[in-house]
Amino acid sequence: MVFNVCHKTWHRIRFVVNYHRREECKLGIVNRSMQAAGVLAGMFSIFSPSKDSLDGIEIEKFMTEPVSNMEKLEKHRTNMQARMELLIMKIQADFCRALEAEEQDGSKFRIDRWLRKEGGGGVSCILEDGQVFEKAGVNISVVHGSLPTEAIKQMRARGKKLSEGGPLPFFATGISAVIHPRNPYVPTIHFNYRYFEVTNTDGSVEWWFGGGTDLTPYYLNESDAVHFHKELKTACDVNNKSYYPKFKKWCDDYFFIPHRGERRGIGGIFFDDLDEPNQEEAFQFANSCAEAVIPSYIPLVQKHKNDGYGYSERQWQLLRRGRYVEFNLVYDRGTKFGLLTPGARIESILMSLPLTAKWQYMHKPEPGSEEDKLMSVLREPKDWLKIEA
Amino acid sequence: MVFNVCHKTWHRIRFVVNYHRREECKLGIVNRSMQAAGVLAGMFSIFSPSKDSLDGIEIEKFMTEPVSNMEKLEKHRTNMQARMELLIMKIQADFCRALEAEEQDGSKFRIDRWLRKEGGGGVSCILEDGQVFEKAGVNISVVHGSLPTEAIKQMRARGKKLSEGGPLPFFATGISAVIHPRNPYVPTIHFNYRYFEVTNTDGSVEWWFGGGTDLTPYYLNESDAVHFHKELKTACDVNNKSYYPKFKKWCDDYFFIPHRGERRGIGGIFFDDLDEPNQEEAFQFANSCAEAVIPSYIPLVQKHKNDGYGYSERQWQLLRRGRYVEFNLVYDRGTKFGLLTPGARIESILMSLPLTAKWQYMHKPEPGSEEDKLMSVLREPKDWLKIEA
């Protein structure tokens, strides 16, 4: 709790950052060389930003200091790496504050800034055991280093024009959030927006964006589903009218749990390898999708956070959370990649898992029940906005 | 609950088997052709065994009818397929009855016999929400069919002398159990013993045994750990004095969670591809390990099932169960293989998952606490029986 009250002003930021480093050190989570690098970086960083210094982004509202040095970010503000880092810091802060505003008991996010020995780091914001949110995680990460030959091979197979052989320098930055509310009538949301760069041996750079937002309700409310998809469609349409139908289908396909024959939730949008029509427009697309998270989700929280529910609704929510765990641990590419990456910050990767989940043998909702209605749309995805009609 | 009271006498077995088939049918879990095959098999099977008809195995004590036709089992009783099926049916019944005897509220196992369209089937016994056992699953399966080329390739790479190319007939049978008790002072146990056969194009048969038993305590009790390992060592030593140290190490290596840098529990034994010194002795080894489950585990249940505990012990148990889920879904070969197998009975595979599990961000036991003591042996496996000394 002490973490959450001390992030309000710039003056305290250096203290807070160092405090968290000490905390991680005490907890033994980061290895010694990472701690050393982090503490040194904290001691020598110059971090006194001015309001509105970066294209309208109010950096003094960020949850904490960005991963990259602020001077460097200022200097390279037209560079896509810097713009994306500033965008995700802004989205993280806006979303965390919007969630905190829904808490009635003053629950605040705990903020952990961490540095990675191999290059870069991240900011993990977690709110656990709140009155409205049982577990909410909003992470950003900015990492760079050397891409192993095997990863390059896989990217080439996927169509990336990368130099053959040896390791290549890479840069990756993104925001990832999973919000598990307490009330079973408030859906879980997940979103992730990321930017990737690989530098070829001739100095040319391959870049692309990826991401998406998807909703996992425990009880189906059709008007909520339509609202959610409509907001995503609006964000897509500004950029390209073909994006929503294409990325909606990709989302339905991606969040499929083959061994259950059902989807994790009622979808949303999902895309990867987006490198067209040009870098600026692709960035603007990621930006408008990320900006759509709050209007698509917060109204649903406000509408349902005080809905009445009982033991059986809670049990159903916990069983569905078991399915969430199954998808994330067995199929989610990001999670699998993270678990296999040496030196990855496991606690940030697995913050997507719910606080509590259940597995009951042969549980099956009563035919015609509200639980059964949800299952039917998880088995057969719906065209919520009647695009096909 | 209706499932559990009606399995006591042979007379009702046909009713029970058909009852469960109807139940599965209603639940829509088995596809239509499987149901049809199952019901027909039930209608035409002749199942009137006599006491002690099969080498001292009291088949009238089985939880239900074996998967294979009893007449066939009687006829081929010297055949390893039949002997192994009868052994696992016996072990299943003995263990389920031993667990039921620990329940004070009369909780009994639910028994589901299921048939597989592609050949074979299984018997899943599950006790959920008992007073002593929160979730206990004891499954047997007997499956046969055609081994795909890809699987053959992997087995050849592992050293199996199998014909190249095309699918080959296979037979696999085994017992698998996971017991999650309610009291955090009673450890979770898992065991699995299996027999595999592949028939080459020239008619020669490659066969092997695999299996193991391992313990996952929530609080470390050194004398329990020693008792458990001693029982396993005794079972191993009867067959080969080199087995316990070798298979103990294999177990420590297998149940490792790389992304956590810890083991799932305090180990036991684990082995695979065992095809020496000969089929009879390898079978006797699997037999003595399987027979060691009750003496290694039930005394620990009896000793601790009434130990006092509170909220914090329960929370710790749930967090450790989260790690159990992580191991099973991310690393366990059997689970992964099952989830990827079309037509596999998912509910039987995932019965290994606990009723409830938790994930708390950055949870770390207090240094020197009982929880911390457990963690140190999960990070550094111990030589419980001082074999090396």
pLDDT tens for chain B, 389 residues long, are 233 333 333 333 333 333 343 344 333 333 333 333 333 333 333 344 444 445 678 889 999 999 999 888 888 878 999 999 999 999 999 999 999 999 989 999 999 999 988 889 999 999 999 999 999 999 999 999 888 888 888 888 888 999 887 789 999 999 999 999 999 999 999 999 999 999 999 999 999 999 999 999 999 999 999 999 999 999 999 999 999 999 999 999 999 999 999 999 999 999 999 999 999 999 999 999 999 999 999 999 999 999 999 999 999 999 999 999 999 999 999 998 888 877 789 999 999 999 999 999 999 999 999 999 999 999 999 999 998 75
* Residue A292 in contact with partner chain B when CB distance is under 8 A: no
How far apart, in whole angstroms, are the C-alpha atoms of residue B342 and residue B34? 13
Nearest to A347 among B350, B353, B361 (CB): B361
B359: nearest CB among A27, A336, A354: A354
Query: Chain B residue with minimal CA distance to A137?
Result: B361
DSSP B132: S
**Residue B339 belongs to some domain of the structure:** yes
Please tell me which of the candidates B27, B329, B361 has its beta carbon nearest to residue A351: B361
On whether the CB atoms of residues A81 and A197 are closer than 8 A, the answer is: yes
How many Å apart are CA B292 and CA B239, to the nearest integer?
A: 13
Has residue A239 got a pLDDT over 60?
yes
- In the structure encoding, which two tokens stand for residue A303, read together? 């509408």
A341 contacts chain B (CB < 8 A): no
Asked if residue B198 lies in contact with residue B155, where contact means CB atoms within 8 angstroms, the answer is: yes
Separation of alpha carbons B52 and B90, rounded Å:
12
Q: What DSSP state is assigned to residue A351?
A: G
**Any CB–CB contact under 8 A between A351 and chain B?**
yes
The helix, strand and coil proportions of chain B, stated in percent and rounded to the nearest 5, come to 45, 20, 35
Cα distances (angstroms) measured from residue B44 to each of A193, B17, B29, B380: 59, 13, 23, 55
User: Any residues with CB less than 8 A from the CB of B10 and at least 6 apart, and which?
Assistant: B48, B49, B60
A356: nearest CA partner in chain B: B358
Residue B362 and residue B371: Cα distance in Å, rounded? Answer: 15
Please check whether residue B15 lies inside any domain of the structure.
no
Whether B330 and A325 lie within 8 Å, measured CB to CB: no
Residues of B in contact with A364 (CB under 8 A): 27-29
**pLDDT 10s digits, A102-145:** 998 999 999 999 998 888 999 999 999 999 999 999 999 999 98
Distance from CA of A317 to the nearest CA of B (A): 12
Cβ–Cβ gap A355/B353 under 8 Å = no
Residue of A nearest to B315 (CA): A356
DSSP code per residue over A120-154? EEEEEEEEES-SSEEEEEEEEEEEEEEE-HHHHHH
At B248 the pLDDT is 98
What integer pLDDT is reported at residue A54 of this predicted model?
Answer: 57
First to last CA, chain A: 51
Q: Which of A7, A20, A180, A190 is catalytic?
A: A190
The ipTM value here is 0.86
Instruction: Determine contact: A346 vs chain B, CB below 8 A.
Output: yes
Q: How far is CA B31 from CA B36, B46, B110, B114, B160, in A?
A: 9, 25, 21, 11, 34
Using a CB–CB cutoff of 8 Å, tell me whether B346 touches chain A: yes
* Confidence at A389, pLDDT banded by 50, 70, 90: low
Q: How many CB atoms lie within 10 A of CB B64?
A: 22
A311 interfacial to chain B (CB closer than 8 Å): no
Query: Distance between the two ends of chain B, CA-based, in angstroms?
Result: 51
Mind telling me how many Å the CA of A335 is from chain B's nearest CA?
10
Note if A11 is an active site residue. no
Cβ–Cβ contact B214 with A under 8 A: no
- What pLDDT was estimated at residue A341? 78
In a domain, A318, yes or no: yes
A259, A353, A355 ranked by CB distance to B339: nearest:
A259
- Residue of B326, B359, B364 lying closest to A355 (CB–CB): B359
* Predicted pLDDT of residue A299: 98
What phi and psi values does residue B34 have, to the nearest 5 degrees? -65, -45
Q: Identify the residue whose tokens are 């046909």.
A: B14
In a domain, B355, yes or no: yes
Query: Rounded distance, CA B289 to CA B269, Å?
Result: 9
Amino acid at A166: G
Q: Residue A292: left (phi > 0), alpha (psi -120 to 50), or beta?
A: alpha
pLDDT of B54 reads 56
Residue A23 lies in a domain: no
- CA–CA gap between residue A192 and residue A332 (Å, rounded): 12
Structural domain boundaries enclosing A208: 46-379
DSSP class of residue B54 equals: B
| Closest partner CB to B362 (pick from A318, A336, A347) | A347
The minimum CA-CA distance between B371 and chain A, rounded to whole Å, is 15
Beta bridge partners of A139: A124, A176
Residue A15 falls within a domain, yes or no?
Answer: no
Pick from A29, A259, A359: CB nearest B353: A359
CB B92 within 8 Å of CB B175? yes
Tell me which residue has tokens 């009896």.
B302
Q: Is the pLDDT of residue A342 over 50?
A: yes
- From chain B, the residues in CB contact with A318 under 8 A are 356
pLDDT above 70 (res A317): yes
Residue A206 and residue A161 in contact, taking contact as beta carbons nearer than 8 Å: yes
Quick one: tokens of B53? 């008809």
Please report residues of B whose CB lies closer than 8 A to that of A135.
359, 361
- Residue found under tokens 């509202």: A61
Q: What is the pLDDT of residue B42?
A: 36
Say yes or no: A187 contacts chain B, CB-CB below 8 A. no
Share of chain A above pLDDT 90, in %: 72
The single residue listed with the structure tokens 């990320």 is: A290
**Which domain CATH number covers A250?**
3.40.1500.10
Closest CA to B175 of B155, B160, B189: B189
In this complex, do A126 and B339 lie within 8 Å of one another by their Cβ atoms? no
> Which of A139, A361, A363 best probes binding to B when mutated, by most B CB atoms within 10 angstroms?
A361
The Cα of A6 is separated from the nearest Cα of chain B by a number of Å equal to 19
Partner residues linked to A213 by β-bridges: A191, A269
Scanning chain A, the segments in alpha helix (DSSP H) are 13-27, 32-44, 70-75, 80-100, 149-157, 222-237, 243-254, 279-291, 293-304, 311-326, 333-340, 346-349, 370-379
- Å from B286 to nearest chain A CA? 28
CA pair distance A141, A145, nearest whole angstrom: 13
Among B38, B58, B81, B321, which residue's Cα sits nearest to residue B178? B321
Asked if A326 has any chain B CB less than 8 Å from its own CB, the reply is yes
d(CA B82, CA B229): 30
Comparing CA positions, the residue from A324, A301, A322, A356 lying closest to residue A186 is A301
Computed over its alpha carbons, how large is the radius of gyration of chain B?
A: 21
Residue from A370, A265, A266, A278 nearest A320 by CA: A265
Contact (Cβ atoms closer than 8 angstroms) between residue B198 and residue B153: no
Q: Is the CB of B360 less than 8 angstroms away from the CB of A359?
A: no
CB contacts, 8 Å: B333 with chain A: none
Phi, psi (5° rounding) for residue A44? -100, -5
Whether the pLDDT of residue A68 is over 50: the answer is yes
**Distance (Å) of CA A238 to CA A241, A267, A295, B158:** 7, 20, 16, 55
CB neighbourhood size of A217 (10 A): 24
Q: How far is A365 from chain B (nearest CA, A)?
A: 9
pLDDT value for A353: 98
Identify which has the larger pLDDT, A3 or A215.
A215
Residue bearing tokens 């470390």: B220
Percentage of chain A surpassing pLDDT 70?
Answer: 85
Across the interface, do A29 and B329 touch by the CB < 8 Å criterion? no
**Any A CB within 8 A of B351 CB:** yes
B81 in any annotated domain: yes
The C-alpha atoms of residue B88 and residue B173 are separated, in whole angstroms, by 8
Residue with tokens 């605040």: A108
Task: Provide the whole-model pTM.
Answer: 0.87
Q: Which residues pair with A358 in a beta bridge?
A: B356
Amino acid at B349: I
Q: B97 in a domain, yes or no?
A: yes
Q: What token pair was written down for A71?
A: 């001077």
Res. A263: pLDDT tops 50 = yes
Top-confidence residue, A15 or B211:
B211
Q: How many domains would you assign to chain A?
A: 1
Q: Hey, are the CB atoms on A353 and B27 less than 8 Å from each other?
A: no
Is B350 close to A362, i.e. CB distance below 8 A?
no
Query: How far is C-alpha B29 from the chain's CA centre?
Result: 22
